[in-house]
């Protein structure tokens, strides 16, 4: 039986469907669009996954448990491969839509870069196989360990981020970073799709960053960009993280530090406030020049990213991440300056 650890990631985000379900139950779940079945791969791309997992592992004595995510275009179908004793032996992701394929390709590239940088022992799952088929792309990796990462930021998280910086760190003009370039393009071309309130927030944030950081060189690193307790596990060597599809080099070194605290307050606490933001800034292990403006850059980036999730929609729903980001941006005078 699967451990509870693998059954649940976040309430409302998705669910695992054991492959051992009876045929009628699986058929019902397929009709609802939430599970795979043993089908001809020519008719359904999920049928391609099982033999690919067998080949990647060099064994066939494993079963699959499907993970069903949300309905966004970039969402992937996932499967956990477990042995007869219920031990996780591999993890697979299957992407069908063009956005999901691009996301999975980015994750593969990041995992390969991590494996090379850490000499085959990265703080992340190792890629085992990649299949770019006509109906779907599939990435198979080693399984994450079962011990969850701590819910409070501590020395283990800092060591993880320091190790990434040691291998991917550098210094770059802020205007040369991917964060700035994405924000510049969004504010310049796509911000008009936001509400009036959000357009004002984006414009104000961008103008403040332009005035403060445009001529600054900042310390950069590989940022996971979804660094949170539910994406981390503990190993004998320390903390590891999975789900690397949003990761990118050239981001401010403190990006993941800010994201961890923001998401923990949002999803595991009572929300975030401008006072919380001041606390994050006071507790940072590093205190670079213009540190509060790096937090502003993070908030601008995460708000831009979440607006992008709803691109093509008639309006942006009341997303809790955007709601809390708005709360911090509206209270910017409480934490941006001493």
pLDDT digits (tens, 9 = 90+) for 280-337: 999 988 788 899 999 999 999 999 999 888 776 667 778 899 999 999 999 999 999 7
Question: What does the DSSP 8-state code read for residue 128?
Answer: E
DSSP 165-181: HHHH-EEEEGGGSHHHH
Cα–Cα distance, 51 to 106 (Å, whole number)? 23
Element (H, E) at 89: strand 88-95
Cα–Cα distance, 20 to 321 (Å, whole number)? 36
Domain-located, residue 162: yes
Instruction: Judge if 121 and 264 occupy the same domain.
Output: no
pLDDT digits (tens, 9 = 90+) for 232-266: 999 999 999 999 999 999 999 999 999 999 999 99
The pLDDT score that the predictor gives to residue 325 is 97
User: What CATH number has the domain bearing residue 269?
Assistant: 3.90.1200.10
Confidence of residue 45 (pLDDT cuts 50, 70, 90): low
CB 188: neighbour CB atoms within 10 A?
Answer: 10
Helix, strand, coil percentages in the chain from 3-state DSSP, rounded to 5:
45, 20, 35
Question: What does the DSSP 8-state code read for residue 243?
Answer: -
Instruction: Judge if 111 and 222 occupy the same domain.
Output: no
The pLDDT score that the predictor gives to residue 285 is 80
Domain final residue pick, 141, 163, 181 = 141
Cα–Cα distance, 58 to 51 (Å, whole number)? 10
Q: What are phi and psi of 73, to 5 degrees?
A: -65, -30
CA 175 from chain centre, in angstroms, equals 24
Instruction: Judge if 97 and 183 occupy the same domain.
Output: no
Domain final residue pick, 106, 141, 176 = 141
Count of domains for the chain: 2
**171/62: higher pLDDT:** 171
Instruction: Judge if 26 and 135 occupy the same domain.
Output: yes
The pLDDT score that the predictor gives to residue 314 is 65
The pLDDT score that the predictor gives to residue 41 is 36
Weakest-pLDDT range from 62-71, 139-148, 261-270: 62-71
Instruction: Judge if 208 and 287 occupy the same domain.
Output: yes
Domain-located, residue 45: yes
The pLDDT score that the predictor gives to residue 338 is 59
The pLDDT score that the predictor gives to residue 11 is 32
Cα–Cα distance, 130 to 116 (Å, whole number)? 16
Instruction: Judge if 135 and 189 occupy the same domain.
Output: no
Cα–Cα distance, 291 to 335 (Å, whole number)? 11
Which residues, listed in sequence order, are joined to residue 172 by a DSSP beta bridge? 218
Domain-located, residue 271: yes
Domain-located, residue 297: yes
What three-state secondary structure class fits 236? Answer: coil
Domain-located, residue 210: yes
Domain-located, residue 146: no
Instruction: Judge if 197 and 314 occupy the same domain.
Output: yes
Answer yes or no: are the C-beta atoms of 294 and 254 closer than 8 Å: yes
Confidence of residue 135 (pLDDT cuts 50, 70, 90): confident
Residue 68 has pLDDT above 60, yes or no: no
Return mean pLDDT, the chain: 83
Residue 279 has pLDDT above 80, yes or no: yes
Q: Which of 137, 147, 202, 149 is nearest to 3 (CA)?
A: 147
Segment 39-51 shows an average pLDDT of 56
Instruction: Judge if 64 and 178 occupy the same domain.
Output: no
Q: Report the percent of the chain where pLDDT is more than 70.
A: 81
Instruction: Judge if 166 and 203 occupy the same domain.
Output: yes
Instruction: Judge if 252 and 327 occupy the same domain.
Output: yes
Q: What are phi and psi of 82, to 5 degrees?
A: -125, 150
Q: CB pairs under 8 A, 24+ apart, for 52-55?
A: 52/92, 52/129, 52/131, 52/138, 52/140, 53/79, 53/81, 53/90, 53/92, 53/140, 55/129
**270/42: higher pLDDT:** 270
Q: Which of 153, 163, 131 is nearest to 56 (CA)?
A: 131
Cα–Cα distance, 164 to 57 (Å, whole number)? 28
Q: Report the percent of the chain where pLDDT is more than 90.
A: 60
Residue 119 has pLDDT above 80, yes or no: yes
Domain final residue pick, 111, 141, 171 = 141
pLDDT digits (tens, 9 = 90+) for 162-195: 999 999 999 999 999 999 999 999 998 767 778 8
Cα–Cα distance, 257 to 161 (Å, whole number)? 8
Segment 257-282 shows an average pLDDT of 95
Segment 118-131 shows an average pLDDT of 96
CA angle 137, 3, 101 (to 5 degrees): 10
Instruction: Judge if 303 and 177 occupy the same domain.
Output: yes
User: Domain range spanning residue 46?
Assistant: 4-141
Q: What are phi and psi of 191, to 5 degrees?
A: -65, -20
What three-state secondary structure class fits 335? Answer: coil
Residue 210 has pLDDT above 70, yes or no: yes
Domain-located, residue 149: no
Cα–Cα distance, 21 to 33 (Å, whole number)? 15
Domain-located, residue 107: yes
Q: Which of 329, 334, 308, 337 is nearest to 197 (CA)?
A: 329
Residue 39 has pLDDT above 70, yes or no: no
The pLDDT score that the predictor gives to residue 310 is 76
**CA distances to 49, 50, 55, 82, 185 from 59, in Å:** 14, 11, 7, 11, 48
User: What CATH number has the domain bearing residue 49?
Assistant: 3.30.200.20
Instruction: Judge if 47 and 182 occupy the same domain.
Output: no
Residue 152 has pLDDT above 80, yes or no: yes
């Amino acid at each position: 039986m699967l451990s509870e650890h693998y059954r649940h990631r976040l309430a409302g985000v998705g669910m695992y469907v054991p492959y051992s379900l009876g045929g009628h139950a699986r058929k019902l779940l397929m009709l609802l669009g939430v599970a795979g079945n043993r089908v001809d791969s020519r008719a359904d791309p999920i049928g391609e996954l099982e033999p690919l997992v067998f080949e990647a592992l060099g064994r066939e004595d494993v079963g699959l448990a499907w993970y069903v995510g949300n309905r966004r275009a970039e969402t992937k179908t996932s499967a956990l491969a477990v042995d007869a004793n219920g031990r996780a032996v591999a993890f697979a992701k299957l992407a069908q839509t063009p956005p999901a394929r691009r996301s999975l390709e980015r994750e593969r590239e990041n995992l390969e870069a991590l494996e090379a940088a850490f000499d085959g022992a990265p703080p992340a799952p190792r890629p085992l196989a990649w299949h770019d088929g006509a109906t779907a792309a599939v990435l198979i990796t080693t399984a994450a360990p079962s011990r969850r990462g701590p819910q409070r930021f501590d020395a283990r998280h800092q060591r993880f981020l320091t190790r990434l910086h040691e291998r991917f760190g550098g210094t770059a003009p802020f205007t040369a970073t991917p964060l700035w370039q994405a924000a510049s393009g969004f504010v310049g071309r796509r911000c008009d799709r936001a509400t009036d309130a959000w357009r004002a927030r984006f414009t104000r944030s961008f103008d403040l960053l332009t005035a403060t950081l445009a001529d600054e060189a900042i310390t950069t690193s590989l940022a996971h960009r979804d660094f949170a307790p539910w994406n981390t596990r503990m190993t004998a060597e320390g903390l590891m993280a999975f789900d690397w599809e949003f990761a990118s080099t050239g981001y401010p070194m403190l990006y993941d530090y800010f994201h961890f605290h923001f998401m923990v307050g949002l999803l595991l606490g009572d929300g975030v406030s401008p006072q919380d933001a001041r606390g994050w800034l006071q507790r940072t292990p590093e205190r670079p020049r213009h540190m509060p403006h790096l937090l502003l850059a993070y908030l601008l980036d995460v708000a831009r990213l979440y607006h992008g999730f709803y691109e093509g929609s008639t309006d942006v729903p009341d997303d809790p991440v955007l709601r809390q980001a708005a709360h911090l941006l509206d209270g910017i005078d409480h934490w941006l300056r001493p």
